[in-house]
Amino acid sequence: MKIDPANLPDNPEVLRQMVVDLTTQLDEHERRYQRVQNILEQLLRWRFGQKREKLDERQMFLFAVQWEAEGRSAQQLAEELGLDDDDPLAPEEEPELKPSKRRGHGRKPLPKSLTRERIEHELSEGERQCPQCTQPMAKIGEEVSERLEYVPASLKVIEDVRAKYACTCGGGLKTAPKPSQPIEKGVAGASLLAQVAVSKYADHCPLHRQEGIFQRHGAEISRKTMCGWMQQTAELLTPLYERLKEQALDSKVVQTDDTTVAVLDRKLTKTRTGRIWTYVGSEATVYDYTPTRKRAGPEEFLKDYRGYLQADAYAGYDQLFKEPDRGLVEVGCFAHARRKFFETRSSNLPCVAPALGYIGLLYRIERKAREWTTAERLELRERCAAPVLEELRAYLERARVAVLPKSPEGGAIGYTLSNWDALSRYATDGDLAIDNNGAERSLRGVAVGRKNWMFFGSDGGGRTAAVLKSFIASCQQSKVEPWAYLRDVLECIATHPVKALNELLPANWKSASA
């Protein structure tokens, strides 16, 4: 509203209305400025700042002040909960200062599992004579030192020679059979296919770099050929991938999340965006690829699953939780809720600091019970986490009326309260986690990999990556060496009985090979 001072009206009511309109406009501009400032801060932090969401002492101080102002301090809450010295919310005692022993800085011993080659070094006959009496000296021992050498990888050609027999009468001709190969009539053996897959999907080395590595070893293998190998390998492992999917969905709790990937489309002048979904079970991690983020993808993947599904507040899951016949129970992620409060610190720090403090107490409880049994963890949550959750919800209800709904802090409070049942459900079961970080960690390899291989060549390439990365991630989850696993499975899967296919799953393969 542009006002000319020389043409102000004389009517007081009109002037009063103009002041109200200008105040409303100023408030709107201030809210818009705060939103833009918050967005700019997050962009700068994402580009230049640290990714860790760490609180500083000033935030905790404001949290303590706010708590004291409401008549309840952290110490008072701990006393009301009846916490002893061993409880996670009890005040930490200052450690007794002891003189620290300086740690040695010598090198670590080389692993015993490495192959050792013994090379003996002897003195010549003249050097073995005593310089004083010129008599030959006797050997009294030896001094052993170790050095680590690198043996470069090498390629070798295996010639399968099959004997042929024929009868002189011309009535019979027989040829000795040869072992089955992962790719029929292909030159790539199981160990080479495993190496290419692990290098790309575990070590994030794209095919064009592997092409250069093989050239240094004297083999001309084009990236196009290796791309075809990966597609055929994924097709060969698809039946086992379906069993791996069943194993993951047989878990009581499944964590899920998704991330974007660029996909090459010949019909477009630029790449389009696809999605990689992760589903983390108790014994397996499975990935799925979809061209879009529509709910049809997770809905199809989870159609046979019954149990707890822990995810962020993605709207595509809402319909799955609303259908009673699906048997899905929603579990929220406090890491997502905490992040929303953390990102609004510049907007209203006194408002969000108490919420960050409450959530920090919840995580402190979880760190205490990390190695405990399910029953012990549940007992601790019912005794300590439940009262803190009640305090947090009460504080958010009070704070919501004091902030604007569309402000950054109002959005964080609204997100937390609207998903409160899912967020607090973890405190009712010792097998549930407070956050969905397990699924986010499983997507870290995809985020690192896409900075190297840049994009998928097609939707089929996304499907290939999902299948192969599922086996590699499940191997890492079961602490199985992925190259050894893939080499062994690719050598035998073609002739392995279908009824015994579960024996080749990473968790079962580890038990059988132990």
Q: Which residue has the higher pLDDT, 216 or 314?
A: 216
Token pair of 12 as six digits? 């007081």
Write out pLDDT tens, residues 298-310. 999 998 899 999 9
Per-residue model confidence (pLDDT) at position 17:
83
Give the pairing of strands 272-280 and 285-290.
antiparallel
Whether residue 420 lies inside any domain: the answer is yes
Residue type, 181: Q
Per-residue model confidence (pLDDT) at position 429:
93
Q: Which residue has the higher pLDDT, 196 or 139?
A: 196
Q: What pLDDT band is residue 53 in, cutting at 50, 70 and 90?
A: low
Per-residue model confidence (pLDDT) at position 71:
42
Per-residue model confidence (pLDDT) at position 125:
86
What percent of the chain is helix, strand and coil (3-state, nearest 5)? 50, 10, 40
Whether residue 65 lies inside any domain: the answer is no
Per-residue model confidence (pLDDT) at position 407:
83
Whether residue 56 lies inside any domain: the answer is no
- Rounded to a whole number of angstroms, the CA Rg of the chain reads 32
Token pair of 343 as six digits? 């990102």
Per-residue model confidence (pLDDT) at position 64:
47
> Stretch 37-62: mean pLDDT, rounded?
63
Whether residue 221 lies inside any domain: the answer is no
Per-residue model confidence (pLDDT) at position 68:
44
Whether residue 194 lies inside any domain: the answer is no
pLDDT > 90? residue 95? no
**Residue 3 main-chain phi, psi, to 5 deg:** -120, 135
Write out pLDDT tens, residues 461-507. 999 999 999 999 999 999 999 999 999 999 999 888 888 899 999 99
Mapped onto helix, strand or coil, the DSSP state of residue 129 is: strand
Q: What is the mean pLDDT of the chain?
A: 84
- Are 130 and 137 a contacting pair, CB within 8 Å? yes
Q: What pLDDT band is residue 87 in, cutting at 50, 70 and 90?
A: very low
> CB under 8 Å to 105, separation ≥6 — which residues?
none
Percent of the chain predicted with pLDDT > 90: 43
pLDDT > 50? residue 456? yes
- Are 483 and 513 a contacting pair, CB within 8 Å? no
Gap between the Cα atoms of 40 and 54, Å rounded: 19
Per-residue model confidence (pLDDT) at position 190:
93
> Stretch 77-84: mean pLDDT, rounded?
52
Whether residue 405 lies inside any domain: the answer is yes
Ranked by mean pLDDT, the top range of 43-47, 322-326, 382-386 is 382-386
> Stretch 447-455: mean pLDDT, rounded?
91
Whether residue 332 lies inside any domain: the answer is yes
> Stretch 385-401: mean pLDDT, rounded?
90
Q: Which residue has the higher pLDDT, 346 or 378?
A: 378
Gap between the Cα atoms of 213 and 198, Å rounded: 14
Mapped onto helix, strand or coil, the DSSP state of residue 188 is: coil
Q: Which residue has the higher pLDDT, 94 or 227?
A: 227
- Are 282 and 307 a contacting pair, CB within 8 Å? no
Q: What pLDDT band is residue 31 in, cutting at 50, 70 and 90?
A: confident
Q: Which residue has the higher pLDDT, 360 or 191?
A: 191
Percent of the chain predicted with pLDDT > 70: 86
Per-residue model confidence (pLDDT) at position 79:
55
Per-residue model confidence (pLDDT) at position 325:
78
Q: Which residue has the higher pLDDT, 446 or 113?
A: 446
Whole-prediction pTM: 0.81
Number of domains in the chain: 1
Whether residue 331 lies inside any domain: the answer is yes
The residue segments making up the domain with residue 285 are 239-476
Write out pLDDT tens, residues 338-366. 988 888 877 777 788 888 888 888 888 88
pLDDT > 60? residue 72? no
Write out pLDDT tens, residues 239-257. 999 999 999 999 999 999 9
pLDDT > 60? residue 1? no
Least confident of 31-35, 50-54, 115-119, 412-416: 50-54
> Stretch 391-410: mean pLDDT, rounded?
87
- 105: Cα separation from own chain's centroid: 33
- Are 282 and 253 a contacting pair, CB within 8 Å? yes
- Are 325 and 343 a contacting pair, CB within 8 Å? no
Write out pLDDT tens, residues 428-437. 999 999 999 9
| Stretch (H or E) spanning 329 | strand 328-331
Write out pLDDT tens, residues 102-142. 565 667 888 888 889 999 998 888 888 888 888 888 888 88
Per-residue model confidence (pLDDT) at position 463:
96
403: phi > 0 → left, psi -120 to 50 → alpha, else beta; which?
A: beta
Ranked by mean pLDDT, the top range of 53-67, 170-184, 430-444 is 430-444
- Are 307 and 331 a contacting pair, CB within 8 Å? no
